[in-house]
Amino acid sequence: MSVASPRLVLLGLFAALSFNAYADEVQVAVAANFTAPIQAIAKAFEADTGHTLVAAYGATGQFYTQIKNGAPFEVFLAADDSTPAKLESEGDTVKGSRFTYAVGTLALWSAKEGYVDSKGAVLKANQYQHLSIANPKAAPYGLAATQVLDKLKLTDATKAKIVEGQNITQAYQFVSTGNAELGFVALSQIFKDGKVTSGSAWIVPADLHDPIKQDAVILSKGKDSAAAKALVQYLKGPKAAAIIKSYGYEI
């Protein structure tokens, strides 16, 4: 049995200590629709860099308010491109750090197999009692849902049936628990590796709503954070891209 020399042991220990010395924690505000992908990315990010990603999940509009009120977030992964741009114009971000990390897809979903057809005709049939959407004032996916209803001329017909969640996670929960027969959710919540994982869904054509471009940005509190910079670079890399695509997003 071979025994490592004291010099090699010391070099290995020094390398491990050096790696940990530069490892840091990054506080990230994450749009609720991106919960599953960022959890997968966080594991890979920590394994590859040693940095730890600490995420909070919620509606983009609510995060804007929290950031303006001094919340300790260093990186913001929004569900739109306008909110990070607004923070940038107001001097709350690191200049040049904003970029689009994903383009989201909206889906009409039911927890029941076969309830939603592949063309969304169930929406026009109007035989359901409740339609779940996220708050359109705070959640870009909720805004996109209202644009779809408007384009299909269903706004008035569905007004009394809408159940509104604070964010896209709550909108999803209303449907998954049966409190709403169907609802507009982020495709990423029901999709993995090329297929819908439960229930039935209509993937909403992109021309029925404004593009859901999701931007990331380093916030002012992260300007000196090596972990924040490393995360942004990691999100632009091939490992993160593969994970993001596996949940139905475009890059």
> What value does the mean pLDDT take over residues 112-130?
95
Question: Do 192 and 238 fall within a single domain?
Answer: no
> What value does the mean pLDDT take over residues 4-17?
44
Task: Give me the CATH number covering residue 60.
Answer: 3.40.190.10
Instruction: Judge contact between 171 and 133, C-beta under 8 A.
Output: yes
9, pLDDT greater than 60: no
Q: Tens of pLDDT along 13-71?
A: 444 444 444 679 999 999 999 999 999 999 999 999 999 999 999 999 999 999 999 99
The answer as to whether 189 is a domain residue is: yes
Task: Give the Å distances, CA to CA, from 213 to 16, 36, 73, 84, 158.
Answer: 39, 18, 21, 11, 26
242, pLDDT greater than 80: yes
Q: Which domain holds residue 63?
A: 6-103+212-246
The answer as to whether 112 is a domain residue is: yes
pLDDT on residue 23 = 72
Top pLDDT among 121 and 14 is at 121
Q: Please tell me the pTM assigned to this model.
A: 0.83
The answer as to whether 1 is a domain residue is: no
The answer as to whether 42 is a domain residue is: yes
What percentage of the chain has pLDDT greater than the value 70? 91
Question: Do 229 and 198 fall within a single domain?
Answer: no
Instruction: Judge contact between 168 and 141, C-beta under 8 A.
Output: yes
> What value does the mean pLDDT take over residues 61-84?
97
Report how many domains make up the chain.
2
Question: Do 167 and 114 fall within a single domain?
Answer: yes
Question: Parallel, antiparallel, or unpaired: how do β-strands 52-58 and 195-196 relate?
Answer: unpaired
Where does the pLDDT of residue 185 fall: very low under 50, low under 70, confident under 90, or very high at 90 and above? very high
Question: Do 32 and 55 fall within a single domain?
Answer: yes
Task: Give the Å distances, CA to CA, from 149 to 5, 12, 108, 120, 143.
Answer: 70, 60, 11, 12, 10
Question: Do 78 and 16 fall within a single domain?
Answer: yes
Question: Do 220 and 99 fall within a single domain?
Answer: yes
pLDDT on residue 251 = 86
pLDDT on residue 22 = 61
Phi and psi at residue 126, to the nearest 5°: 60, 35
Q: Tens of pLDDT along 132-167?
A: 999 999 899 999 999 999 999 999 999 999 999 999
- Rounded to the nearest integer, the mean pLDDT of the chain is 92
The answer as to whether 251 is a domain residue is: no
Question: Do 84 and 115 fall within a single domain?
Answer: no
Question: Do 127 and 181 fall within a single domain?
Answer: yes
Question: Do 138 and 194 fall within a single domain?
Answer: yes
Question: Do 88 and 168 fall within a single domain?
Answer: no
201, pLDDT greater than 80: yes
> What value does the mean pLDDT take over residues 215-239?
98
Question: Do 172 and 229 fall within a single domain?
Answer: no
pLDDT on residue 229 = 97
Sheet strands side by side (includes 25-31): 52-58, 25-31, 75-77, 212-218, 99-104
Question: Do 99 and 110 fall within a single domain?
Answer: no
Rg of the chain over Cα atoms, rounded to whole angstroms, equals 21
The answer as to whether 180 is a domain residue is: yes
pLDDT on residue 231 = 98
Instruction: Judge contact between 214 and 31, C-beta under 8 A.
Output: yes
